[in-house]
Structure 1
Amino acid sequence: MLDSLFVRASLAGIGVALAAGPLGSFVVWRRMAYFSDATAHASILGVAMALAFDISIFSGALLMAIIMALGVQSLTSRGRSMDTALGVLSYSALAIGMVAVSLTSGVRIDISALLFGEILIVQGADLALIWGGAAVVFALLWWRWSALLTATVSPELAQAAGLNPRVEQFILTIALALTVAVAIKVVGVLLIGALLIIPAAAARPFSSTPERMAVLATVGGVVSVLVGLSAAWEFDVLAGPAIVCAAAALFVTSMLVQGVRALRSDG
Structure 2
Amino acid sequence: MLDDFFVRAVLVAVGVAAMAGPLGCFVVWRRMAYFGDTTAHAALLGIGLGITLGIDLTIGVAAVTISVALLLLAMERHTGLALDTLLGILAHSSLALGVIVIALSPSLRVDLTSYLFGDVLSVSVADLAVIFGLAVAVLAALAVIWRKLVAATMDEELAAAEGINPARYRIALVLLLAVVIAVAMKVVGVLLVTALLIIPAAAARRLSSSPEQMALAAIGLAIAAAVGGLFMSLYLDTPSGPSIVIAAALIFSLSLLPLGPKRG
Who is 1:45 aligned against? 45
Who is 1:98 aligned against? 99
1:32-86 Cα offsets, whole Å, 9 max, x none, are 1101110111011011111122211111100110111112222223431111111
1:199-257 Cα offsets, whole Å, 9 max, x none, are 000010111110100010010000001110011111111100000000001111111x2
Distance 2:227 2:58 in 1: 24
The within-5 A match list for 1:211-226 is 211-226=212-227
CA RMSD of aligned residues (A): 1.5
How far the C-alpha of 1:105 sits from its partner, in A, is 3.4
Distance 1:42 1:110 in 2: 18
Who is 1:9 aligned against? 9
Distance 2:186 2:106 in 1: 22
Who is 1:190 aligned against? 191
Distance 2:132 2:104 in 1: 32
How far the C-alpha of 1:260 sits from its partner, in A, is 5.0
Distance 1:21 1:62 in 2: 19
The within-5 A match list for 1:21-170 is 21-78=21-78, 79-170=80-171
Distance 1:252 1:240 in 2: 19
1:178-217 Cα offsets, whole Å, 9 max, x none, are 1011111111111110000000000101111101000100
Distance 1:6-1:262 versus aligned 2 partners, 3 A rule: same
What's the secondary structure of 2:110's corresponding residue?
coil
Range 118-127 or range 93-102, more displaced: 93-102
Distance 1:261 1:146 in 2: 28
TM-score by length of 2: 0.95
Which structure: greater helix fraction? 1
Question: What is the identity, as a one-letter code, of the residue corresponding to 1:156?
Answer: E
TM-score by length of 1: 0.94
Structure 2 segments unaligned to the other structure (5+ residues): none
Who is 2:182 aligned against? 181
Range 12-21 or range 45-54, more displaced: 45-54
Distance 1:210 1:28 in 2: 11
1:5-38 Cα offsets, whole Å, 9 max, x none, are 2110000100000100010011111111101110
| Misfit runs of 4+, over 4 Å | none
How far the C-alpha of 1:91 sits from its partner, in A, is 1.5
What's the secondary structure of 1:144's corresponding residue?
helix
